[in-house]
Amino acid sequence: MTRKLIIPIVLICVVLFTSCAAKKKLAAAEAEITQLKADKADLASKNESLQKQLDEFDAQRKANMAAFEKYRAECEEAKQKLQVVRALVAEQYATLQEVDKKIADALANFNDKGVDVYYKDGLVYVSMAEGLLYKSGSATLGPDAKAALGNLASVLNEYPKLKVYVVGNTDDKPFKKGGDNMTLSTDRANGVVKILRDDYKVDPTRLTSAGRGKYSPVADNSTAEGRAKNRRTEIIINPDLIKIWQSVQDSQ
């Protein structure tokens, strides 16, 4: 009898123990599932965040590439425009070198009368001494002056785009009592422009005259030799800056 009772009790205990263990396993499994779901959600969130960052990086990369391509294209365009400007500058330089030689040849017979032709800082200078052009204290041009200016004009008329500045200069000694050297230098420059315009048909829109008086000496005014060098008229030939400037404007 006792044995018969023990067996069912044991069976019941086994069932209860097994059921308890199963519940624990189920609870553990459910907890693990819950944790896995949480981990999955966390990983999904992190993945979404990383994907967002990746998309942002990719967008930034594309923007950077677009900016780089734009910059590269602009650099190439600027390079090409610079080449055009450089070509124009080289062309003007070659023209002025040519003009310098032609004027020097045209005025070679007047070298011993105070004519000096030279190239400096992108300009061609023709310096004519007072003795060739005028009598002392006068703004009236003599025969030799007109002949020299005629030879010069023949070259100038070959290059109609070049600008011509005529600048009168004096020493620091008044040419007469109460005389104004600034006025004298201006009158002399105007006289040269008038001859070039009226006698030798140089386009007047190319011509500009000015007087500097004693304020642009090339030698010491304390000596007779220095003062003689300072009494001069300079004819300055300028390149076609408008052509270059237009090219620069077009390149902007």
CB atoms within 10 A of CB 86: 11
**Type and span of the H or E element at 102:** helix 2-106
Number of separate domains in the chain: 1
Q: Give the domain range for residue 132.
A: 91-248
Question: Is residue 123 classed as helix, strand or coil in its secondary structure?
Answer: strand
The conformational region for residue 120 under phi > 0 = left, psi -120 to 50 = alpha, else beta, is: beta
**201-244: pLDDT as tens digits:** 999 999 999 999 999 999 999 999 999 999 999 999 998 777 77
CB atoms within 10 A of CB 19: 10
What's the first-to-final CA gap in the chain, in angstroms? 116
What's the chain's length in residues?
252
Reported pTM: 0.72
In a domain, 221, yes or no: yes
Check which CATH number belongs to the domain holding 168 and give it: 3.30.1330.60
In a domain, 37, yes or no: no
pLDDT at 1 over 60: no
**156-213: pLDDT as tens digits:** 999 999 999 999 999 999 877 667 899 999 999 999 999 999 999 999 999 999 999 9
